[in-house]
Chain A
Amino acid sequence: GQNIDQPTEMTATEGAIVQINCTYQTSGFNGLFWYQQHAGEAPTFLSYNVLDGLEEKGRFSSFLSRSKGYSYLLLKELQMKDSASYLCAVYDSNYQLIWGAGTKLIIKP
């Protein structure tokens, strides 16, 4: 079966750095997405990785290791507005997006 695992919940302090991990087992791989979802709102795109390595975009970075079936999202200089759920999703061999259950990130002052 296809499976994406993420921690259910994480807590971090404003101004700090947090790393949210995602491991996947899917039938094929055509790229990995990270989305942000604030409570009661729609998911919004954060990043896309298809090759191994780190993609940096401002305070957010995303890393991929295809051989390990592993990705992480790194958030720096945390702000209160970063309190949200972070969803990991993988495009499988049929170009269907397989979604993880999401990681709820709580930021404390």
Chain B
Amino acid sequence: NAGVTQTPKFRVLKTGQSMTLLCAQDMNHEYMYWYRQDPGMGLRLIHYSVGEGTTAKGEVPDGYNVSRLKKQNFLLGLESAAPSQTSVYFCASCLAGGPADTQYFGPGTRLTVL
């Protein structure tokens, strides 16, 4: 049982390049989330999904797209990377998104955009 995994762990991009971050969970969770974490700020929600085939915008969705084609996978795409997207990206999942439902986090992806 691997829990939540993320690939890649590190990535350096040039401005304007694109990339996709992959999140996978093997806990049969319905809800999945993408956050970014920046120094001095709380985790900020980018996009989330309440089930296979669904996606919704979070607090800071601009410049990102997501897809949830399979229940266990949640992809985060950057179409044209900008230096402001330099951050640590965390994926999380939880069973059903209700009260007391704990979110489990992946190890993170450290992205630098030059």
Contacts and interface: CB of A to CB of B under 8 A. Distances in A.
Contacts of A48: 100, 102
Contacts of B90: 42-43
Nearest to B98: A95
Interface in B68-114: 90, 97-100, 102-108
A8 B106 CA distance: 24
B58 A50 contact: no
A42 B41 contact: no
Nearest to B106: A42
A101 B40 contact: yes
Contacts of A98: 42
Contact of B100 (A4, A31, A101): A31
Interface residues of B, number: 19
Nearest to A49: B100
Nearest to B100: A48
Contacts of B100: 31, 48, 50
B42 A99 contact: yes
Given A30-B99, A96-B58, A42 B105 contact: yes
A87 B102 contact: no
Contacts of A50: 99-100
A87 B37 CA distance: 12
Contacts of A96: 45, 58
Nearest to A100: B42
Contacts of A30: 99
B43 interface: yes
Interface of B: 40-45, 58, 90, 97-100, 102-108
Closest 10 CB pairs of A and B: A99-B42, A42-B105, A99-B43, A45-B102, A101-B42, A43-B105, A100-B42, A42-B107, A48-B100, A31-B99
